[in-house]
């Protein structure tokens, strides 16, 4: 059965959504955007509500741009209102899911547009193969609905790269609605906006593409420089106005400038680890692309259009390799471009060998490996959120076992440790849980009226050093329960005063020997990461 071109686009969006639904929790690297979205939804953007914003209490190493999260909050508000009207939002976890699905949908639409430009330049077969390969990979679909700053910039980068794919005037498939120059100027304007406001490393992507287009005389240097300067000035002004307002600390704040000073000029990013110079080429790209990397490299030899697309992408990766601190998410923007190269390479191999069977066999092999690795990735990832598991257990435990208040009539107090907050206990999960006491001034409009259930619970998220050990939590007589790092705190527990209610585990590797012995239940190793204690 043949699937229409739009069917493959819909499939890609559905795959992105499926990854969100299969692994709903989040981790600490997603927290700034996620918590800012919640603050906008709950507290509004008026000055009176800003004092309750999470990022003003937990500031992080450097300020981050609020424009992307603000846009996501606006986009999420409509589906949240609809779900709220239907009383589908029973907890903060449901609201968080809708926010993530919104982001996944935006990223899916961006890649659908990208695939249409691929179709115009390369033909229907390459576009179809691109969508199939993109849908079966692990990293981009998994992270498409996760609120990393990189994934907020991701759709803008894909739209820009789509406009820079071999201009439609060189394609026999379709004619452009706009001139090639208009597409190119629009692409560089979008990339400049994304770089100045969201991720300044994108300057390293702008430069090689600019040189490539100037060398081919598709655009003049005066036009390109003028467009980039005008866009950069406008974007900088927007960033300074918005971020100075939401951060409330400095009169002239440009977050990406601060990040560049901190991470690059001062070299402080090395505090988060140093990777070998060739890490992106020997580890990150193979991990992101798997077998797709092989036909992508082959297409560089066989297809001029692919060279025009991938050489600037290789240059981008090479430029980022000059920095000591490296993470795969810094190069995730070029994964779709390399996937186009893989699709073009598969088609080229079939054409050169005059063997449709070889072409289909190669595609099916890569898809099969992608699906296998995606399955393993989902198994590992779904078991990697002990903080979320601990909060879920405690909510159920309180509903079933705890009285509504203690003798003094106060709500139950729960200390949430750093490990729990880093592995799933987000503000949506904690502050909008079925038992959470509402913060004064918060208007959690999206929760169904019947969602709150007794007993009332106050979740303490502070990182006060006075509560750095379980002994200190017990002796303070302030907390009834604690969700703490199993490895750091439980050894000092007063066993008579602190009762372990639950041990939340996290993925600790695959046991291939167990598989060989037929013990499938032991395939995944797990280690206790967060413990739930009853303190009194």
- In angstroms, the CA 250 to CA 342 distance is 47
At residue 253, φ and ψ (nearest 5 deg) are -110, 125
Residue spans of the chain under pLDDT 50: 1, 168-178, 404
- In angstroms, the CA 344 to CA 338 distance is 10
Q: How many residues does the chain have?
A: 536
pLDDT the model gives residue 177: 47
Domain ranges, ordered by start, for the chain: 5-382, 386-534
pLDDT digits (tens, 9 = 90+) for 26-62: 999 999 999 999 999 999 999 889 999 999 988 888 9
C-alpha angle 468-473-479 in degrees, rounded to nearest 5: 135
- In angstroms, the CA 196 to CA 255 distance is 9
- In angstroms, the CA 321 to CA 278 distance is 7
Classify residue 284 by its DSSP letter. I
Contact 510, 524 (CB under 8 A): yes
pLDDT the model gives residue 169: 41
Contact 174, 132 (CB under 8 A): no
* Token pair for 163: 């406009």
* Prediction pTM value: 0.93
Q: Which of helix, strand or coil describes residue 282?
A: helix
**Could you give the residue ranges of the DSSP H alpha helices within 2-148?**
5-22, 31-43, 47-50, 67-85, 92-122, 124-136, 139-143
C-beta neighbour count of 48 within 10 angstroms: 9
- What Å distances lie between residue 496 and 141, 500, 533, CA to CA? 47, 11, 12
- In angstroms, the CA 483 to CA 417 distance is 6
pLDDT the model gives residue 4: 59
Contact 26, 147 (CB under 8 A): yes
C-beta neighbour count of 487 within 10 angstroms: 13
pLDDT the model gives residue 491: 52
**Could you give the residue ranges of the DSSP H alpha helices within 321-449?**
335-353, 356-382, 386-401, 418-422, 427-431
Cα dihedral sign, 11-310-378-20:
negative
Q: Give which of 433, 65, 109, 85 is closest to 255, Cα–Cα.
A: 65
HSE-CB of 130 using CA atoms within 13 angstroms: 28
Residue with tokens 């296998």: 372
pLDDT the model gives residue 325: 94
Residue with tokens 């490895």: 487
């Amino acid at each position: 059965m043949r699937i229409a071109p739009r069917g493959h686009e819909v499939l890609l969006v559905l795959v992105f959504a499926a990854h969100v639904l299969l692994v709903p929790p989040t981790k600490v690297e997603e927290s700034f955007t996620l918590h800012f979205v919640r603050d906008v939804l709950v507290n509004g953007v008026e000055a009176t509500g800003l004092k309750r914003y999470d990022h003003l209490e937990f500031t992080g190493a450097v300020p981050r741009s609020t424009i992307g999260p603000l846009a996501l909050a606006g986009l999420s508000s409509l589906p949240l209102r609809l779900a709220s009207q239907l009383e589908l939002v029973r907890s903060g976890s449901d609201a968080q899911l809708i926010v993530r699905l919104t982001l996944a949908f935006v990223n899916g639409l961006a890649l659908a547009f990208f695939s249409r430009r691929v179709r115009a330049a390369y033909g229907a077969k390459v576009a179809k193969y691109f969508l199939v390969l993109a849908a079966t990979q692990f990293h981009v679909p998994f992270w498409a609905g996760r609120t990393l700053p990189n994934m907020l910039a991701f759709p803008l980068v894909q739209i820009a790269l789509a406009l820079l794919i071999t201009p439609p005037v060189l394609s026999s498939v379709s004619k452009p609605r706009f001139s090639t120059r208009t597409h190119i100027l629009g692409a560089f304007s979008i990339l400049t906006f994304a770089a100045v406001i969201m991720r300044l490393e994108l300057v390293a992507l702008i430069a090689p593409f600019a040189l490539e287009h100037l060398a081919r005389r598709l655009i003049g240097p005066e036009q390109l420089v003028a467009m980039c300067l005008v866009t950069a000035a406008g974007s900088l002004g927007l960033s300074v106005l918005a971020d100075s307002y939401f951060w409330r600390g400095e009169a002239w704040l440009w977050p990406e400038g601060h990040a560049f000073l901190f991470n690059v000029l001062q070299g402080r990013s090395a505090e988060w680890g140093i990777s070998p110079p060739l890490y992106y080429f020997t580890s990150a790209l193979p991990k992101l692309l798997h077998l797709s990397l092989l036909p992508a490299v082959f297409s560089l030899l066989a297809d001029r259009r692919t060279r025009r697309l991938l050489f600037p992408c290789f240059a981008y990766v090479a430029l980022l390799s000059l920095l000591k601190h490296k993470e795969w998410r810094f190069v995730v923007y070029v994964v779709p471009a390399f996937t186009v190269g893989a699709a073009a390479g598969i088609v080229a191999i079939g054409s050169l060998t005059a063997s449709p069977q070889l072409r289909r066999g190669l595609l099916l092999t890569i898809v099969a490996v992608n699906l296998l690795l995606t399955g393993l990735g989902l198994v590992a990832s779904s078991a990697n959120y002990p903080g979320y598991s601990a909060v879920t257990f405690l909510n159920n435990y309180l509903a079933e076992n705890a009285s509504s208040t203690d003798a003094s009539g106060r709500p139950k107090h729960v200390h949430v440790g750093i490990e729990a907050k880093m592995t799933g206990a987000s503000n949506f999960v904690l502050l909008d849980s079925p038992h959470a006491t509402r913060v004064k001034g918060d208007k959690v409009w999206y929760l169904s009226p019947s969602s709150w259930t007794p007993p009332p619970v106050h979740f303490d998220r502070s990182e006060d050093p006075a509560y750095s050990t379980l002994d200190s939590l017990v002796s303070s007589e302030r907390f009834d329960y604690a969700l703490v790092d199993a490895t750091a705190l439980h050894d000092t527990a007063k066993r008579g005063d602190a009762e372990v209610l639950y041990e939340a585990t996290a993925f600790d590797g695959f046991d291939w020997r167990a598989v060989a012995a037929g013990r499938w239940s032991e395939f995944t190793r797990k280690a206790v990461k967060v413990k739930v204690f009853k303190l009194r």
